[in-house]
Chain A
């Protein structure tokens, strides 16, 4: 199985196109043209660090090098130059790819050794017909917490295991994710098989991306809850009218699900669980946070879903194969499951996500999952998003504090803000144990969202 071979299996070239921020590529043109030029054959059998800045260049390289390269290492745009040499070493890379015309001394690739190929959306005539010689490994980098990123090994088969053959009509996908991250790569691959894709670019505003997505007639669009909150804050969400809105990568709380249902009444609002290591777990379409308990241990399912010790674990053909690197930990446990690190709790027949094992705040020995508190705060109609974090305490080790971004116009003036803070505090006191209630609420203009589309958590 190789990507170009699957896309042309019917005998006809693929009909969709890739909409980049600066250029648009009809996939059919790749039958006779290449973004890599002579680099295509030069990279055959090699392990290639794909370090292009432009996501469109990276997408084209992925399409062209699957079946050709031994390994492709997908560098996210924010890969730090400090980590690039380790990524190169641990992946065994002997080549790297950057944007044509770009400075090959750009931070992320400075000092790298090996064959350098430049690529770009300007296509050159393809000399030889495309040919499959290698079952290419796809290496994704996880957004590491503090240290170097982990290298997660996938195959085209594991990356596409969750796709079904439905959806005959050509779809126009859009994604807020960068396509070099698992969530974005899933959408790129789905789009290649079923239509077109509007790629987002870190260089453009959310409103500009939504305008391009609208112009392309986007029907299906995905992002993290933080991406979606930012989209709703941009005031430009009304420009698109998708049939399908997908959230993944962070806990989708009831407030964001409800906001999206109101913003896109004609659309299916689905939240999916997926991670780079565990692959796609499941998708929930009923508009409610969490997932039905019946999914756990369901016989005959494509994905075995299990909850062990309050933590979700998954076993499926979508699981990554393993980690790369000299001191790489085991990816799967002795039962063949990938432990996700996501904590769930059974409430009224549904499992709800209560946070990450690692992000726990410990208040005098009692655990607080920031996401659980954020869900309560975000339920207030005046709140756009919030970040709950620990504050050091000489008494209890930590106490909980919150930063809150208000919906524009929710509170005019200091007095209105104080009133609103009081309402949020009351809601927290009503619904949360005392140690989970924030000791203070600070209204902030914005919260930092990382390049991977998740709230930046200082200690998580």
Chain B
């Protein structure tokens, strides 16, 4: 599964668990308008670290703003 597909499915899974209505995931969707709260993002990031083996927030220069930023953060090679 591609990184993007993994992320997309985790967004959907966590939204279901947290009973939140997820906006359609397009690259220009602002994360804070996605329907998820910070706890949901915390869960997504922790599970991505388990699946992909790294947490790019450690080294990221800036916090992702859009869904596209978020995917690119994980697609860029880990440093």
Contact = CB atoms under 8 A, between A and B. Distances in A.
Interface of A: 363-364, 391, 393-396, 399, 429, 434-435, 439-440
Contacts of B41: 395
Interface stretch (B1-9, B22-30, B43-51): B43-51
A399 B18 contact: no
B70 to A, nearest CB: 12
Among B45, B57, B58: residue with most chain A CB under 10 A: B45
A439 B47 contact: yes
A393 B18 contact: no
Contacts of B18: 434
Given A396-B38, A396-B42, A439-B46, 5 more contacts: A364-B39, A399-B43, A434-B18, A439-B43, A440-B47
B19 to A, nearest CB: 9
A391 B50 CA distance: 12
A394 B58 contact: yes
A contact patch SS: mixed
Contacts of B47: 439-440
Nearest to A363: B39
Contacts of B46: 391, 393, 399, 439-440
B55 A396 contact: no
30 contacts: A363-B39, A391-B46, A393-B42, A393-B45, A393-B46, A394-B45, A394-B55, A394-B57, A394-B58, A395-B38, A395-B39, A395-B41, A395-B42, A395-B57, A396-B38, A396-B39, A396-B42, A399-B42, A399-B43, A399-B46, A429-B17, A434-B18, A434-B39, A435-B39, A439-B42, A439-B43, A439-B46, A439-B47, A440-B47, A440-B50
A429 B17 CA distance: 9
Interface string B43-78: 101110010000101100000000000000000000
Contacts, number: 38
B50 A363 contact: no
Contacts of A393: 42, 45-46
A395 B58 CA distance: 11
Contacts of A396: 38-39, 42
Contacts of A429: 17
A436 to B, nearest CB: 10
Contacts of B58: 394
A363 B46 CA distance: 13
A353 to B, nearest CB: 25
A394 B47 CA distance: 12
Best-surrounded residue of A364, A399, A439 (most CB of chain B within 10 A)? A439
A364 B58 CA distance: 18
Nearest to B55: A394
A439 B58 CA distance: 20
A443 to B, nearest CB: 15
Among A363, A394, A429, chain B packs the most CB atoms within 10 A around the CB of A394
Nearest to B63: A394
- The 8 closest A-B CB pairs, nearest first, are A394-B57, A395-B42, A396-B42, A393-B42, A395-B41, A439-B43, A399-B42, A439-B46
Nearest to B17: A429
B51 to A, nearest CB: 11
Nearest to B60: A394
B13 to A, nearest CB: 12
A439 B17 CA distance: 11
Contact of A364 (B38, B50, B55): B38
Contacts of A394: 42, 45, 55, 57-58
A435 B17 CA distance: 12
B56 to A, nearest CB: 9
A440 B55 CA distance: 17
